[in-house]
Amino acid sequence: MSATTTPLPKAVIFDAYGTLFDVHSVVAAAEQMFPGHGDALSQLWRQKQIEYTQLRTLADLAGARYQPFWNITLDALRYSARKLGLGLNGAGEKRLMDEYACLSAYPDAVPALRRLREMRAGAGHVGLAILSNGNPQMLDIAVKSAGMTGLFDRVLSVDAVRAYKPAPAAYALGPQAFGVAAREMVFVSSNGWDAAGAGWFGYTTFWINRAGAPAEELGVIPHGTGGGMADLLDFIETLAPPDKSPGRSRHSPGG
């Protein structure tokens, strides 16, 4: 019977921006600077940021068009302010980029990560990682300012391969880091397109649909979907039932 027991995921890999860190926590500062336009600026900024990462990677997978996420984030801010007719000067740019450097974590993020670390100490070893478009320096600051220091085994940046998600080279960083197949890991993202890309690549995927958005029409369905981290924990516990079956014994602690 043990051969048919659902295995624990070997690792849980999180997208960062939008999934752990609230990219729209810049709205308050943006609204203060441009009353009535804070939400529109935040939305367009995020949209252009993602678009620019994808365009640059798509135009040249060899990385010649690659720019670090920080630079692209600034480019996207400049475009968005102009598109909305907002006069954004150097000081304004700096203020909003500073906000972006220290985004708030979603309130359910740290408790869920702590819970996953506890599961790791139980039956089987569950690795925890970030796999993000953010460049290493951005991720370092964001992890620290969100109080997530020490919660991850690995913080993986696509900067290592100069290709943004959903390029396969970016998703490949997960299996490379943990030495296990993508399907044995759960990839968690609040971005529907990212969950789709990870699913295409071969991960077991969980879409945290924080915004209540419709499912993307990309012909690939996440293995799990929910509104927040509690649903993710339920999903993972379904994959890894409590250690009461003899079949669990094949998961040696730390193995």
Length of the chain: 255
Q: How far is the CB of 74 from a copy of itself (least distance, A)?
A: 8
Q: Which stretch binds a copy of itself (CB under 8 A): 11-19, 25-33, 161-169, 173-181?
A: 161-169
Choice between 84 and 110, CB closer to a copy of itself: 84
Is residue 70 a contact residue for a copy of itself (CB under 8 A)?
no
Does residue 57 bind a copy of itself (CB under 8 A)?
yes
H/E/C letters for each residue in 76-143? HHHHHHHHCCCCCCHHHHHHHHHHHHCCCECCCHHHHHHHHHHHHHCCCCCEEEEEECCCHHHHHHHH
Q: Is 15 a catalytic residue?
A: yes
What is the Cα–Cα distance from 51 to 31, expressed in whole angstroms? 23
Q: Six-digit token pair at 215?
A: 């499912």
Residue 114 interacts with a copy of itself (CB under 8 A)? no
The CB density around residue 102, as the number of other CB atoms within 10 Å, is 13
Q: Which of 39, 51, 98, 243 binds a copy of itself (CB under 8 A)?
A: 51
69-83 helix and 38-59 helix, angle to the nearest 10 degrees: 130
Stretch in the footprint of a copy of itself (CB under 8 A) among 12-20, 129-137, 215-223, 233-241: 215-223
**Residue whose token pair is 């909305």:** 84
Residues at the contact surface with a copy of itself, assessed by CB under 8 A:
48, 51-52, 54-61, 65, 67, 75-76, 78-79, 82-83, 164, 166-168, 193, 196-197, 200-201, 213-214, 216-219
Active site residues: 15
